[in-house]
Amino acid sequence: MELLCIQSQEHPQLPQAELKAVIECENINADIEKITEGLVILKNISKDNLLHYYEILTKRLGYTHEIHEIITKSSTDNLEEDLLAIDWSKYIDETFAVRVKRFHSEIDTVETERLAGFLILSQCDNIKVNLTKPKSLVRIVAFHNEIYVAIERIKLNKRHFEDSKPHKRPFFYPGSMNPKLARCMVNLSRIKEGELLLDPFCGTGGILIEAGLIGCKVVGSDVYWKMKNGTAINLEHYGITDFRTFKLDVRELKMYEKVSSVVTDPPYGISTSTGDIEGNDIFKEFFYSIYDNMKDDAYLCMASPHYVNLKPIADEVGFEIVEQYGIKMHRSLTRIISVIRKKLK
Ligand SMILES: C[S@@+](CC[C@H](N)C(=O)[O-])C[C@H]1O[C@@H](n2cnc3c(N)ncnc32)[C@H](O)[C@@H]1O
């Protein structure tokens, strides 16, 4: 069985990296084939656990917008006959709509939707077109001259990412990253439901909200009371109850239990009671303090500015960098998202 994933094109690699990480940590057996930016196929996925997989992917993914079951692969030349060869009664429940999406393709979307709708109707009794609230959605995706004919099995609800933008939360303070990126970072850290995730620079709790919503236990700490308390207010607002927050300088961190992952967005200069520390030193201090608080197989996913070279610092402390992605913020700043783990002993 093959699933067609339509992804955000906000970044050239992160959506696919997020999908790969989730599949890996959730033990979903599938091969990922990238067709083009925004379009990925999950191949050789077992039918047996499909509903469970849908549930996990829907709950977790930030940068994947749609997931459909592929019915057939066709081409612009053969689409009509291939559509007529499908037993649509297996896929359509009373009412349906056809929606076409193009990637580097010239096909006429309105005309293709109309034609496909007509052919499906002609092939199946007791079904009707309903463009506003169809029970079944036929998704046709064109990439150059290739056509994927698919059926929507589950809808991913992206409203949350709009509704939880930093300025819409009860406690707001500038500097919180957008929730989709926060979700992606949580996923890149390969954490699973029920495991413990820590953000030691929690600020307003943006990362912890995303981790809490996929069912993790979360701990946040920040050097300021205002942030510690604000994080708790925000987590409660989103219905997250399994959390603890602390007012703590990251360098004093001593967790009551080793964590399964650390996801964080450190400041570019940290505040301390004795003044601010800047430059590479904060990252070194952070790495040293976090190391013993992480389980041996735990991942750290963090953001940093491009001008900080994390590699020598990670090496010194005993970490290795396994993935890195750049996000251009403006002309003079690229934010680097790194996935890091302890070096094997
Ligand atoms: C970039 S912000 C994190 C934003 C956060 N991800 C959010 O969603 O709001 C960095 C945070 O690190 C905190 N911080 C600065 N120095 C710190 C230190 N020494 N120990 C712990 N937290 C510190 C700041 O108070 C700030 O809230």
The band of 271, judged by pLDDT with boundaries at 50, 70 and 90, is low
169 and 71 co-located in one domain: no
pLDDT at 71: 98
pLDDT at 274: 43
Check pocket membership of 224 for ligand 1, CB cut-off 6 A: yes
pLDDT at 278: 62
169 and 235 co-located in one domain: yes
Q: Given 122, 155, 188, which residue is the final one in a domain? A: 155
Check pocket membership of 230 for ligand 1, CB cut-off 6 A: no
pLDDT for 81 beyond 90: yes
Report residue 24: phi and psi, to 5°. -65, -50
127 and 183 co-located in one domain: no
Q: Any residues with CB less than 8 A from the CB of 92 and at least 6 apart, and which?
A: 120, 124, 127, 135, 136, 138
Higher pLDDT among residues 157 and 129, named by residue: 129
269 and 183 co-located in one domain: yes
Report residue 85: phi and psi, to 5°. -85, -10
pLDDT at 337: 98
d(CA 9, ligand 1 centre) in Å: 29
Output the residue whose Cα is nearest ligand 1's atom 3: 203
CA–CA separation, 207 and 217 (whole Å): 12
| Cβ atoms within 10 Å, residue 85 | 11
Q: Any residues with CB less than 8 A from the CB of 4 and at least 6 apart, and which?
A: 39, 40, 41, 66, 67, 68, 69, 70, 139, 141, 148, 150
148 and 166 co-located in one domain: no
How many domains is the chain partitioned into structurally? Answer: 2
Structure tokens at 171: 């406690």
> Which residue, among 227, 228, 210, 208, has the nearest Cα to 218 in the 3D structure?
208
176-197: per-residue pLDDT in tens? 999 999 999 999 999 999 999 9
- Percent of all residues in the chain with a pLDDT value above 70, rounded to a whole number: 97
Nearest ligand 1 atom to the CA of 202 is 5
Query: For all residues of the chain together, what is the average pLDDT?
Result: 94
171 and 318 co-located in one domain: yes
170 and 317 co-located in one domain: yes
Q: Given 155, 180, 196, which residue is the final one in a domain? A: 155
120 and 237 co-located in one domain: no
Domain containing residue 33: 3-155
d(CA 253, ligand 1 centre) in Å: 14
47-58: per-residue pLDDT in tens? 888 999 999 999
54 and 202 co-located in one domain: no
181 and 292 co-located in one domain: yes
CATH number of the domain residue 323 falls in: 3.40.50.150
pLDDT for 290 beyond 60: yes
Average pLDDT, stretch 288-303?
97
Average pLDDT, stretch 218-239?
97
The band of 273, judged by pLDDT with boundaries at 50, 70 and 90, is very low
200-217: per-residue pLDDT in tens? 999 999 999 999 999 999
Nearest ligand 1 atom to the CA of 227 is 27
Check pocket membership of 206 for ligand 1, CB cut-off 6 A: yes
Q: Given 103, 138, 155, which residue is the final one in a domain? A: 155
288 and 321 co-located in one domain: yes
CATH number of the domain residue 11 falls in: 3.30.2130.30
51 and 79 co-located in one domain: yes
Check pocket membership of 227 for ligand 1, CB cut-off 6 A: yes
Output the residue whose Cα is nearest ligand 1's atom 8: 206
Average pLDDT, stretch 116-125?
95
Average pLDDT, stretch 143-152?
97
d(CA 222, ligand 1 centre) in Å: 6
Check pocket membership of 223 for ligand 1, CB cut-off 6 A: yes
If you ran DSSP here, which 8-state letter would residue 250 be given? G
238-256: per-residue pLDDT in tens? 999 999 999 999 999 999 9
